[in-house]
Every structure is written in C-alpha cells, then in structure tokens.
Amino acid sequence: MLKLITICVVIFVLAVVMTMAGRGGGNFYVLVLVLSGIPMHQAATTGQFILFMTAISALFVFQKNKVVAWPLAIFIGILAASAALAGGYFSHLFTGFTLKVIFSGLLAAAGLIMLFPVSERTDSDFDKKFGYWRFESGGNPYIVNLWIASTVTLLAGFGSGMVGISGGSFLVPLMVLACGVPMRVAVGTASTLIAATALMGFTGHAIQGDFNPAWALPLAAVTIIGGFIGGKFAMKTKSKHLKQLFAYTTLAASCFMVINAFYSR
C-alpha cells in the first residue's frame, strides 16, 4: 500500500508538470512504473491509460478556455498518424540503439529551439498566398504555412512511429514555430492529439491482456486530478514560462533516452 501511495504522489506531480508543458510524458510514467517493479508490458499499458486520462482531464479545462484549435488538431493528427504507420513499418531497418540515439538528438533540438524567443505572426496578407491556410478557432484567426507544417509533421510522425512513442515532444514546437500559434493554444491543442494517440496505444496493449486495473485505476484517478490542475496552472502561467518548462522537460527526456539506449544496449 505504501508503494502505491508513493507512486501515486510521483505520478500526480508528473501529470501536473507534463500537462502544463503540453507534453505527453509517457516515457516518464513508464520509467516510474518499471522502477517500482511493474513488468514492462503492464507498465506500458498502464502508462498509456493514465496518459489518456490526464489528457482528457486537461482537455476539459483547455476547451472551456477556448485554447484548442480543432482544425489544426485534426490536420496534424491525420498527417502524423499516417507517417507514424510508415515509421513503424520501416523501423526494422535500424537497430534500437541507433533509433534511440537519433531520436534523443531530435528531442534535444526540439527543447533547445523552444528556449529562443519567437514572435507570433500576425500578417493577414499570408492568407492570400498559395500554401497558407487561414482558419478561425475559438474566435481567433490563425494562419498556417502548410509547406512547413506538413513537412515537419510528416517527419515528426515518421520518427515517432519508428521509436514507438506518441511524438508529443514535437507537437508543441511544431505548432508554435511552424504554425505560429500562441503557446497556450499549442498546449491545449496538443492535449487532444496526445489523448488520441494514447487511447490507440492503450487499446493495442489491452487487447494483449496487459491491463492491470489494480494499478491503473488508482493512478488514473490521481492523474485526472493532476491533469485538471495542470490545465488550470497552464492558463495562469505566462507563455514564456510555459515554453521554458516545455524546453527543460524535453531536454530531460532526451537525456533519459540516451541513458536508456546505452543501458539497454
């Protein structure tokens, strides 16, 4: 019982921080569960389940505050899912060690570029040019450079599919840097994509019989609260600080993947 309580506390803190940063955080969840002695397959299943519950909880907060760009979420979701399918198919061409090292470098790059200031685009003339998509969500207009957004989404989805993660670490930089949306909108929109990918991942694992409700349900209850609180904090935190939080957690994930690559080699 004491071990379960301890894990609940750690998972709760992770849920709050990961929600604020707009990251899935599945790799951190799985690490905590594995270190607590849960078998890897059960840890992966439980991690996907609590990741889904966290994202859904946060989504209610973000949707209420109108910071979810649904057209952008659907566009990125379809492209990323298609590319992830291809990435998973071709993953056998590389060793696990190579994939982890390469992806760690991409994570580090995603984290570092978020530390640099980026001005939000407001030039309404962009919507008159071919390759630029203008839409409205929550009463706010957005202009997306489809050339950049499509390319980055396909590459991120392909790489995520090869390594076997949701790709949440690339969603926020993609929307902020390539799509020019505000940080809060990027975080809110990312929650919808994280929820979708986590649900699909959980379903696949659960079909194999790896779902353990004795652990998953108590942790899910904790992460629902954590996701709600994290969403509330995200709405009150300055965009600059949200970007820094995302950057540092992504860099931490990069370091973890490098260590994991050499440890499991």
What is the tens place of the pLDDT at every residue in 43-73?
878 888 898 899 899 999 999 998 888 888 8
Q: Give residues with Cβ within 8 angstroms of 114, minimum separation 6.
A: 172, 173, 176, 243, 244, 246, 247, 250
Type of residue numbered 229: I
The overall average pLDDT reported for the chain is 81
By CB atoms closer than 10 A (0-12, 13-18, 19+), residue 35 is exposed
- pLDDT at residue 243, as a whole number: 87
Please return the burial class of 175, using the count of CB atoms within 10 Å of its CB with bins 0-12, 13-18 and 19+. Answer: buried
Q: Residue 166 — very low, low, confident or very high, per pLDDT cuts 50/70/90?
A: low
Burial of 144 by CB count in 10 Å (0-12 exposed, 13-18 middle, 19+ buried)?
buried
For residue 127, is pLDDT > 70? no
Residue 106: pLDDT over 80: no
The 10 Å CB-count burial string (b at 16+, else e) for 50-89 is: bbbbbbbbbbebbbebebbbeebbebbbebbbebbeebee
| Single pTM value for the model | 0.79
Q: What is the mean pLDDT of residues 136-163?
A: 79
pLDDT for residue 121: 52
Q: What is the pLDDT of residue 40?
A: 72
Residue 163's pLDDT band, with cuts at 50, 70 and 90, is low
Handedness of CA 178, 166, 253, 255 (dihedral sign): negative
Q: Is the predicted pLDDT of residue 125 greater than 60, yes or no?
A: no
Angle at 223 between CA 218 and CA 227, to 5 degrees: 160
Residue 155 to residue 23: CA distance in whole angstroms = 18
